[in-house]
């Protein structure tokens, strides 16, 4: 979509070589494309800017945020439009690639996937600060995302508030009881007792259906939440389909709702904590956001909780709200 902006920013792509991902157990690439949006003002002086890390949902990667669509602006075009309108101030936006053979990483460390939490917090942040004119401070560094990207944003706020001072989660995974088990019966039928055979068939086909992605999602979450060495344990019995309560409990230990109490001080230190979800979310993530919001309130943690009349898909327009809030709460001049 063309915005006809007279002050269009620039998107640059750099090839980043990761030391953290070199030894990932899946053999996924350790050299990855990193896409960075630079506002028009970046080219007109030596000013430094706040930076927003935008995390993709499951089965996505940074480049997908720049897809061309004649009807919907991609993230760069969206930024141009919001800056032109004066809705947001100029900011840098970083779009990482944390995709894996299993479909995603949840932006956490895993012996089955690789250490994608470290990749983001220990490598990419320092790399971006060293190579672009960022305001290299948590008060000027935000993270946002949708779905699994929203989960990743929440995890960054929970565990890495010293790095990311602003968090916006759009339909982020929370209150796991209401979202992930929806896929378990179908995943059991798709996987047919053999995850490796399913994955081989999945990757050999150019056409997958909703049930295929539901099964991949279950495998991807297992690789993130219930790794067993370089493999993983599924939360369903592959012979009967029964939920394996011991494995499921390991998943619950990663639920943002259950992590709040452990990271109260980190959450209270955030300049922005934003939860956003559609009231028609197909995975009940609006309910999860409500439960998370109540938990935050019970612990005296300031946050913004928004709901909107829509579902889980085709809601990239909600980035407008996230970016506006980030712009309004971020520090744009560290000398003040």
Last residue of a domain, one of 252, 274, 298: 252
Range of the domain at 105: 10-175+255-329
CATH of the domain at 288: 3.40.50.1820
Distance CA 168, CA 145 (A): 7
Q: What is the DSSP letter of 18?
A: P
pLDDT at 6 over 70: no
Query: Do 79 and 136 sit in the same domain of this protein?
Result: yes
Quickly tell me which residue has 């712009």 as its tokens: 327
How much is the mean pLDDT over the chain?
96
**What sign does the dihedral 142-146-151-154 (CA atoms) show?**
positive
Query: Do 221 and 84 sit in the same domain of this protein?
Result: no
Instruction: Let me know if residue 2 belongs to a domain.
Output: no
Instruction: Let me know if residue 124 belongs to a domain.
Output: yes
Cα–Cα distance list, 220 to 23, 103, 309 (Å): 19, 6, 29
pLDDT digits (tens, 9 = 90+) for 79-109: 999 999 999 999 999 999 999 999 999 999 9
pLDDT at 1 over 70: no
pLDDT digits (tens, 9 = 90+) for 115-137: 999 999 999 999 999 999 999 99
Mean pLDDT confidence for 294-310: 98
* Counted domains in the chain: 2
Query: Do 127 and 227 sit in the same domain of this protein?
Result: no
């Amino acid at each position: 979509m063309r915005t006809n902006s007279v002050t269009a920013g620039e998107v640059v792509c750099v090839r980043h070589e990761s030391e953290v991902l070199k030894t990932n157990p899946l053999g996924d690439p350790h050299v990855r494309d990193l896409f960075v949006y630079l506002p028009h003002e970046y080219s007109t002086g030596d000013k430094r800017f706040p930076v927003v890390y935008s995390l993709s949902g499951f089965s996505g990667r940074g480049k997908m945020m720049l897809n061309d669509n004649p009807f919907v602006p991609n993230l760069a075009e969206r930024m141009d439009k919001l800056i032109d309108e004066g809705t947001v101030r100029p900011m840098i936006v970083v779009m990482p690639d944390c995709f894996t053979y299993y479909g995603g990483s949840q932006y956490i460390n895993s012996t089955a996937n690789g250490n994608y939490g470290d990749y983001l917090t220990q490598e990419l942040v320092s790399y971006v600060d060293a190579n672009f004119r960022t305001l290299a401070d948590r008060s000027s560094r935000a993270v946002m995302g949708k779905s699994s990207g929203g989960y990743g944003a929440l995890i960054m706020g929970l565990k890495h508030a010293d790095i990311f001072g602003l968090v916006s989660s759009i339909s982020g995974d929370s209150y796991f009881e209401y979202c992930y088990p929806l896929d378990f019966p179908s995943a059991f039928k798709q996987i047919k007792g053999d995850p490796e055979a399913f994955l081989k068939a999945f990757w050999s086909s150019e056409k997958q259906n909703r049930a295929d992605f539901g099964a991949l999602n279950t495998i991807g979450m297992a690789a993130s939440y219930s790794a067993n060495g370089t493999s993983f344990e599924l939360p369903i019995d592959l012979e009967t389909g029964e939920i394996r309560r011991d494995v499921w409990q390991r998943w619950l230990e990663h639920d943002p709702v259950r992590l709040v109490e452990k990271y109260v001080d980190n959450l209270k230190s955030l300049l922005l904590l934003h939860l956003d979800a559609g009231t028609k979310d197909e995975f009940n993530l609006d309910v999860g956001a409500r439960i998370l919001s109540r938990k935050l309130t019970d612990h005296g943690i300031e946050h913004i909780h928004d709901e909107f009349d829509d579902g889980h898909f085709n809601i990239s327009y909600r980035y407008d709200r996230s970016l506006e809030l980030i712009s309004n709460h971020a520090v744009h001049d560290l000398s003040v």
